[in-house]
Amino acid sequence: MVTRDEAHEDPRRAASRLTGRPVTGARAGSGSPAEVTLDGGTRVMVKRGDAPGAVRAEVAGLRWLAAAGTVRVPAVLGHDERWMVTERVHTGHPDPEAALRFGQGLAALHAAGATDFGAPPPDGPEDAFIGLAPMRNAPGTDWPRWYAEHRVLPYVRGAVDRGTLRPGEAAVFERVCARLPELAGPAEPPARLHGDLWNGNVLWGADGEVRLIDPAAHGGHRETDLAMLALFGCPHLDRVLAGYDGTAPLADGWRERVGVHQLFPLLVHAVLFGRGYAEQALTVARSALAR
């Protein structure tokens, strides 16, 4: 249970309490995430999760990704139900060779696998989040059915409820879901996904190695992570894909399936940010139906 004092903490106090170390400085502002300096000059990131279970889900996801020993993630230095403290990543510039290694590591991360599609990380809650949107990790064994029930249709309903999608437009996504068994390509085992792999969650380290932050980790289809990288733009994406495909070749026709996998993040964005993303999702869905 979060106490009243903990609920009203600022990042400095939370960092000191969770790491057991004095705080010697912080960047201006008290937002989340915030950069805080501990004694000895160690800089850390302090993040507050206001929704119940949000911190637990993120910590479990980071640890699950780290356990694969592939793409690096910031170490969790302390957490409770409201706050988490992680190491700060010293960032540099995107580099083609780092991108190639990232692709290789991402392939290995996915190959580490999951027990089921929708499986949450160990110790992670079923009711998790992708960004600020709720995301339920309900296990399933058949990817097309699971993707329709837990990654497409809930956000279609959410967008209709918010007025972002018109009720009649929901039928477009329902038709895509009905055709997913033929649109999904060859069956694949559940992959260990980052789950929210847009470029903002890819940090290009000053040491030449990529770190991943802010996961919405779960068991899923490996093409979903790659489709999200492509959706919002990733530096040297061609090199990332070359490293990936050279390590774990993608099934034939994967490029034609990118839009199907992008429906999930587009619909999440439609729920959170409005009509522009709904129109983009409709365009992608109609294109899939035209195949």
State the catalytic residues.
Answer: 196
- Total residues belonging to the chain: 291
With beta carbons less than 8 A apart as the criterion, state whether 172 and 282 touch.
yes
Residue 217 φ/ψ, nearest 5 degrees: -65, 140
Q: Measured on CA atoms in the order 253, 172, 194, 209, is the torsion positive or negative?
A: positive
Q: At CA 143, angle to CA 54 and CA 236, rounded to 5?
A: 70
C-alpha span between 268 and 134 (Å, rounded) = 9
- The whole-angstrom separation of Cα 237 and Cα 19 is 37
Query: In angstroms, rounded to a whole number, what is the distance separating the alpha carbons of residues 172 and 68?
Result: 38
CB burial of residue 29 (10 Å; 0-12, 13-18, 19+):
exposed
The phi and psi torsions of 207 (rounded to 5 degrees) equal: -85, 5
Q: Spell out the alpha helix ranges (H) of the chain.
A: 4-7, 11-19, 54-67, 96-111, 143-147, 153-161, 170-178, 180-183, 222-231, 237-247, 258-273, 275-289
